[in-house]
Amino acid sequence: MEAVLLIGIQASGKTTFYLERFFRTHLRLNLDMLRTRRRERLLLAACLEAGQRFVVDNTNPTPADRARYIGPAREAHFAVIGYYLDVPAAEAVARNAGRPGKERVPERAIWATAARLEPPTREEGFDALYRLRPASDGWEVVPLE
């Protein structure tokens, strides 16, 4: 059983990464889609109860945001894996500008999340944690100790 947390500012590439790596195996929890924390809580509890692998596809910028999932997942004996998509805000802003109108977010929201973001650490309860940086052919992956 595995819980995957994505961490990254808007337009860093989280949903693309989910689709490429996890679409076939992991249920996706995404607050933009679910709209309310209540729905998210219910589906998180359902995954944990059922032993269903899932990915949290939210920005998750602070330890408190991440603790919402890490604590319950560990209690349910899920391995918790984190992927920190470390994309410069200016690059995310540029990617955002290239999205279709409905998917575009206000630029200031990206800068605001970038300012709040605290890079994740293993001490938060991750069993494995990776930092992803943009590379010429996808991502450069660095395991964080």
Quick count: other Cβ atoms within 10 Å of Cβ 75?
9
**Minimum distance from residue 81 beta carbon to Mg ion (Å):** 18
The structure tokens listed for 79 are 């391995």
Site string for ligand ADP, 121-140 (x = CB under 6 A): -------------x---xx-
Alpha-carbon distance values, 122 to 91, 110, 125 (Å): 26, 25, 6
Q: Using CB atoms, what's the residue nearest to ligand ADP?
A: 13
Does 11 help bind ligand ADP (rule: CB under 6 A)?
A: yes
Q: Which residue in the block uniquely carries the two structure tokens 């650490």? A: 121
Q: Does 96 bind Mg ion (CB under 5 A)?
A: no
Residue 15 touches Mg ion, criterion: CB under 5 A: yes
Q: Which is nearer to ligand ADP, 32 or 50 (CB)?
A: 32
Could you tell me the smallest distance in angstroms from the CB atom of residue 36 to ligand ADP?
A: 19
Q: Taking CB under 6 A as the rule, does residue 88 contact ligand ADP?
A: no
The whole-angstrom separation of Cα 115 and Cα 132 is 19
User: What is the distance of C-alpha 133 from the center of its chain?
Assistant: 14
